[in-house]
Amino acid sequence: MERNLKLILRYDGSPYHGWQMQDNAITVQQCVSEAVERILSKKVTIYGCSRTDSGVHANTYCCNFKIDTDKNCEAIRKGIDAVLPQSIAVLDCEDVSMDFNARFSCKGKEYIYKIWNSNVKNPFLTNYALHYPYYLDAEMLDREVKAFIGTHDFSAFCAAGNTTSTNVRTITDCWVKREGDLITFSVTGDGFLYNMVRIMVGTAIYIGRGKIKEGTIEEIINSKDRTRAGITAKPHGLYLNRVFYDDLKMPDGN
């Protein structure tokens, strides 16, 4: 009897060229597909909740595949987890309805971006946080980024190559906080454009450095002009932290 299995993953994106399968590069999707085939002796199509870019991490990542097997979910989870690289973990496996799709059933996502804000680099965060040596006022930036909240056309925060039919997205929460030298930027919404979060972070950094005037995020959004926003922050500070679905309990990310 065919089943639809949902996997919850956590992965370090440093060794991979993103999630999506590619012909000439190692990706997370490829590793998961090969692990499933090895454990269940069948080829499957893995559907992922997001196309994370090269070097981007995931504290919580949801994917699903359909297969005919009578193995119980915990045995499947343990088996797949055991043969995956150390950089990918399987947190959970469960049966879901046959119409569930990790991408199209997703109702929202939360991303976080980590900045090591010190004039001394942290070698333990080389691949896991952006090192930015100039002081950033996290409290001021927290006030500034609240302008992202709401339903807007985010064309000014979208990289070239975006293929979505509309650039309108709804942001439900956005904040910045500091813990010691580590600054965390968080944003939650119903969906995100290509490089949108990284451009939001880059804009916040430019505001913090005085390269973009305080109080102008709303103007930048309304301009729909990519040149008005800040840089695209590097990928290694970005994490898909949580994904949201109707009637499905999901891990809390960090």
Catalytically active residues, by annotation: 53
Q: DSSP 3-state assignment of 201?
A: helix
Q: Which of 173, 134, 150, 160 is nearest to 226 (CA)?
A: 160
String of DSSP letters for 29-44 = HHHHHHHHHHHHSS--
Q: Is the dihedral of CA 17, 242, 164, 232 positive or negative?
A: negative
The 8-class DSSP code of residue 179 comes to E
String of DSSP letters for 42-90 = S--PPEES--PPTT-EEEEEEEEEEEE----HHHHHHHHHHHS-TTEEE
Written as six digits, the tokens of 123 are 């070698």
Q: Which of 226, 235, 231 is nearest to 209 (CA)?
A: 231
Q: DSSP 3-state assignment of 141?
A: helix
